[in-house]
Chain A
Amino acid sequence: MPDKLTYEEIVKKHIERKGKTTEVILPVLEEIQETYGYLPREAMEYLAEALKISPAVVYSTATFYHFFSLEPKGDVIIRVCRGTACHVMGSGIIMNELMDELGLQGEGTTPDGKFTLESVGCIGCCSTGPNMVVVRNGKEEIFGYLTPQKAREVVKKIKEQIQSQGVGV
């Protein structure tokens, strides 16, 4: 990824724009999450220090929202939509199928750190469900009208690509 900012730079950028206000907490954490794939402890402490607030305040926010993760996520993130329409169209079965393909017992990251499987709040493609979102290199791709076989094939194809060309495809 070009011009990847460090967490110090991200914090400074937002404070320069908005001042030392707690309003920057969410946008800063979001950008760190997107850049690093998770929220490193040092980054949260650095943000608290810069805003002159307790790290507990930042930690409280960081652990409240689903979007943030305190652990590094896999190179490829698969988010299965858990919206109502997807549920009645069988997203639970898709989830089971993917757990089986990835060798996971539930949501989480594979031991090799390549894949993270999680559920996501409704992505709003309800007419084309069940859906899943695949995030790779900061790019999101949505797959609709899934069947268990189709979901498995998508993952298999990604695995093949990783094997032959590395993650950055």
Chain B
Amino acid sequence: MRYTFETLEKIRGEYRERIEIRKKRTLEPGKKYILTCGGTSCLSIGGEKPTYQLFKEIIEKEGLEDKIEVVNVGCMRMCSEGPLVAMYPGGVLYTKVKDEETAKQIIDAALSENPYVEGHHYKDPLTGEIIHHMWEIPFFKYQESVVLERVGLIDPTSVEEYIATGGYFGLARALKMSPDDVIQEVYNSGLRGRGGAGFPTGLKWKFARQAQGEPKYVIANGDEGDPGAYMNRAEMEGAPFALIEGLTIAGYAIGASKGYIYTRAEYPLAAHLLEHAIKVAKEKGLLGENILGTDFSFDIEVFKGAGAFVCGEETALIASIEGKAGRPRPRPPFPAQKGLFGKPTIINNVETLMNVALIMEKGADWFRQFGTDRSPGTKVFALAGSLNVSGLAEVSLGTPIKVLLEDIGRGAPEGHTLKAVQLGGPSGGCVPTEHFDAPIDYESLGSLGAIMGSGGVIALDETSCMVDVAKFFIEFTKNESCGQCTPCRDGLVEMYDILDRITQGKGTMEDLEKLEKMAVTVKNTSLCGLGQTAPGPVLSTLRYFKDEYIAHIEEKKCPAKACLPLIEYYIVPEACKGCTICAKNCPVGAISGEPGKLHVIDPEACVKCGTCMAVCPFDAIIKIDAFGKE
């Protein structure tokens, strides 16, 4: 059946209850909903069977279909506690659900008066308190739910559930307006590109609408190549219809009839769910010919990248769809004038387009209640690294960095102290603790030497060496450089060589000067965004952590004890009990000693894998400075 404006209302009415029950915060008798997280992270740490299947099989076997319905939803955000399962009404959150036994316990508990299962709830690392209900957990309490509201709530394969949350009402409203009015509404919302650069979305659309040339194209940029960022993947996996709706609105606004969703080959689940959603949307008249019975027609195709970071740059992305090597070209002309196949094209980030669908549904004023005047709305961040709790966090723009790290992420694990946060991936920078009060918005992060980027947030503690972090990113961008322009192709290699020398204790103070000079040159003279931003990690660490560079050079010492050439593993004689566990686990047989007697590591044979330190039950193995001796 093809939907019309009226059917949307009807479906929303029919399915509303199914959705509303999943938002109820109080325990109630009656039918229960079990939501299982179907995100890639939860699947990666789960047991043999996906969580959804565990529950489905038990419920079918025991004939409990009338009492419990299990729904496989998108990412439930708190990835470090996964695999996650939630029970509604009530919002009871179960953590680390990996096996049939636990699934059984949860089902029994859900059907009883006491829905809690010992050992499978969130325990706050700071207070020790066990918190059963999702909305009381600090990780969720400090977040906004705008873009992620549907992710983790609805079945991503069900268009009806999406409609029940207000889905497709944005498109319906847009289709009743003129394209120019749609662009004006998006412009008024103040929405800025969520891919990192922060260009006003409404303005980009206006340029493309005014540009001459037919046909026009719209592209959703889901080429989330930043190591450490995965919000776009979760968004595409959890609410594929929202992206399709946003892209369709963009197509209507600029007068395009064809759209692409460019995603990564590394995200097979996202591509699969998007393709499924496109098929369903076409069957329902929400995509294809005469959308919702109007004379607007629009088609979308999923395009999978082939593993090139530079293709996140818009002109390289276009080259890639055209079948060429993904090399950027100079701008202007901007894609809005001459883009895919030389035609006017707009490229928006996945999260930008999901915001568009919400803005068209709820209005520009609604959107402006979140965030700041210059950076309205929310942003989804991927928290990882040295944090007690990590996963996806959506907050209003303008929220201080420390809310993300301390209130939501609950700080560094016991025994560790945060020293910096890396924001924006290879194009971003490291911000030290003294700036954790700074608000997260495009301008403040820029002034700190970082960028918003796509939203990767990696917390670094005292065990992370800032020179090594800089080297890691330069190695990444060096490998990902398309090789077209000299500053990026050769400059990054030169910078890498210097950093490599420094981390081996072979650097000189002249190297340091040269490194800084080179970084500024690459930044100022590269052709595209990759090269222009690649020195960010080096420049920001030089700005805030120059002492670490100097320690590597002058003292031949890695203060974080992370650079392997500068450290040795050592068994503290007083602490060693001679239990032989280290010797048994050493992969190269570098540890000798008799049972009950002191063990010794042969530094010549040791490959510094750290296995001994991890397995020692007495914490007798430590890292010491090797002072650059080979």
Using CB atoms and an 8 Å cutoff, list the residues of chain A in contact with chain B. 21-27, 29-30, 57, 60-61, 63-68, 82-90, 93, 96-97, 100, 120-129, 131, 140, 142-145, 147-149, 152
Contacts and interface: CB of A to CB of B under 8 A. Distances in A.
Q: 8 tightest CB-CB pairs across the interface, nearest first?
A: A124-B230, A25-B323, A22-B323, A127-B79, A65-B306, A66-B307, A142-B44, A83-B227
Contacts of A26: 303-306, 320-321, 323
Nearest to A124: B230
Contact of A126 (B390, B473, B585): B390
Contact of A145 (B45, B305, B609): B45
11 contacts: A84-B385, A93-B610, A121-B225, A124-B40, A124-B224, A124-B229, A124-B234, A125-B79, A128-B82, A140-B268, A148-B611
Nearest to A21: B323
Given A26-B306, A140-B268, A149-B585, A126 B230 contact: yes
A123 B384 contact: no
Interface in B575-630: 585, 587-588, 607, 609-611, 614-615
Contacts of B326: 64-65
B476 to A, nearest CB: 7
A144 B45 contact: yes
B458 interface: yes
A63 B327 CA distance: 13
A75 B37 CA distance: 31
Contact of B325 (A60, A123, A127): A60
B267 to A, nearest CB: 7
Contact of A84 (B41, B43, B227): B227
A93 B598 CA distance: 26
A113 B76 CA distance: 40
Interface in B469-492: 469, 472-473, 476, 482
A121 B44 contact: no
B303 A22 contact: no
Given A66-B307, A67-B307, A121-B307, A88 B45 contact: no
B47 to A, nearest CB: 12
A84 B308 contact: no
Contact of B422 (A84, A127, A142, A143): A84
Given A124-B229, A127-B391, 16 more contacts: A22-B323, A23-B323, A24-B323, A30-B306, A60-B324, A61-B325, A64-B325, A64-B482, A82-B227, A84-B456, A88-B386, A120-B307, A124-B382, A128-B44, A143-B44, A149-B614
A148 B321 contact: no
Interface in B432-483: 456, 458, 460, 464, 469, 472-473, 476, 482
B458 A84 contact: yes
Interface of B: 40-41, 43-45, 79-80, 82, 224-230, 233-234, 264-268, 303-309, 320-327, 382-386, 390-391, 422, 425, 456, 458, 460, 464, 469, 472-473, 476, 482, 585, 587-588, 607, 609-611, 614-615
A66 B325 contact: no
A25 B478 CA distance: 26
Contacts of A90: 610
Contacts of A57: 323-324
A128 B80 contact: yes
A122 B230 CA distance: 9
A142 B43 contact: yes
A44 B414 CA distance: 55
B45 A128 contact: yes
Contacts of B588: 100
A148 B44 CA distance: 17
Given A26-B304, A65-B307, A88 B230 contact: no
Contacts of A86: 227
A148 B609 CA distance: 8
A142 B47 CA distance: 11
A149 B476 contact: no
Nearest to A87: B472
A148 B422 contact: no
Given A27-B303, A61-B324, A97-B609, A126 B228 contact: yes
Given A23-B323, A140-B268, A122 B227 contact: yes
Contacts of B382: 124, 126-127
A21 B324 CA distance: 12
A29 B482 CA distance: 19
Nearest to A51: B323
Contacts of A23: 321-323
B233 A148 contact: no
B486 to A, nearest CB: 18
B230 A61 contact: no
B613 to A, nearest CB: 11
Contacts of A128: 41, 44-45, 79-80, 82
B45 A123 contact: no
A29 B390 contact: no
Residue among A21, A84, A96, A125 facing the most chain B CB atoms (10 A cut-off): A84
A39 B358 CA distance: 43
Contacts of B473: 84
A100 to B, nearest CB: 6
